[in-house]
Amino acid sequence: MNAWIGGALAVAAMFLGGGLWGWKGVILALTGTVFWLLLQFSRLMRAMRAASESPVGQVHSAVMFNSQLRAGMTVAQIITLTRSLGRKLSDTPETFGWIDAGGDQVAVVLQKGKVQSWELLRSPEGQPSPPDQSSQTPLGADAP
């Protein structure tokens, strides 16, 4: 949720609570707001704990990560998705990369903490290669 919308909702809840139930309504609205903030903090800490247990810049499948990316995603959403912190590739523009075991890499360009663009970089080994002719025996020949 946008921070401005969340703040406006919290202030509106306090005014509504104060108008309907007096100081008890304000306390109820404040309690609800603090509870919501604690839930957001807990969610962020859970994502960071999962990211701390993984190698930096590693992802299980770069292709799946690429398909799940959307413009405007926040850094917290990306960390939750990858369960890993990205490896910094460039400062301007702010670019982070994640690579999988096959060598495929996703480079994500961030602007103000949100995804601006991304690119999937396929590894040369990931493409199927022609069969090795030296290891095959011709038809009719006996295998050693």
Domain containing 116 equals 62-124
Specify the pLDDT at position 137: 40
Specify the pLDDT at position 4: 86
Q: Which residues of the chain have pLDDT under 70?
A: 1, 125-144
Q: What is the CATH number of the domain that holds 99?
A: 3.30.1450
User: Global pTM?
Assistant: 0.70
Residue 48 belongs to some domain of the structure: yes
**111: buried, middle or exposed (CB in 10 Å: 19+, 13-18, 0-12)?**
exposed
Specify the pLDDT at position 2: 74
What is the spatial distance between Cα 70 and Cα 90, in angstroms, rounded to a whole number?
20
Structure letter (DSSP) for residue 101 = T
Domain match, 45 and 21 both = yes
Specify the pLDDT at position 72: 94
Put the strands of the sheet holding 105-111 in their side by side order.
Answer: 87-90, 94-99, 105-111, 114-121
Domain match, 116 and 76 both = yes
Specify the pLDDT at position 89: 94
Peptide bond into 55 cis (omega under 30): no
